[in-house]
Amino acid sequence: MDDEWNPDKANQLVRLTLNEIEQLAEKLSPARAEALLDEFEHDIHDAFLRQDLSAVMNNCEKYERRFRALGEEED
């Protein structure tokens, strides 16, 4: 995959991830979901500042996995 900075692609990845996280967050306690979203925001912000598409993709995948895992723990 081409890792050249593409802000449209990066924004699309973040939107898709936030949509999935929003659905998964309903399974978590509000405090837990908010803390994880704060971490996600920080990591994504850093990736955008560096204009690092690979970091955006990796962070999106990482936080989707974390939310899924925590959602399964809460079930």
pLDDT for 52: 97
Q: Is residue 9 part of a domain?
A: no
Q: Is residue 22 part of a domain?
A: no
- pLDDT higher than threshold 90 for residue 49: yes
Count of the separate structural domains present in the chain: 1
pLDDT digits (tens, 9 = 90+) for 11-22: 999 999 999 888
Rounded CA-CA distance 70/49 in Å is: 28
Q: What is the mean pLDDT of the chain?
A: 91
Domain span holding position 53: 28-75
Please list, in sequence order, all residues whose beta carbon lies within 8 angstroms of the beta carbon of residue 49, skipping any fewer than 6 positions away: none
Residue type, 51: Q
Mean pLDDT within 27-44? 90
pLDDT for 9: 97
Q: Is residue 11 part of a domain?
A: no
- pLDDT higher than threshold 60 for residue 29: yes
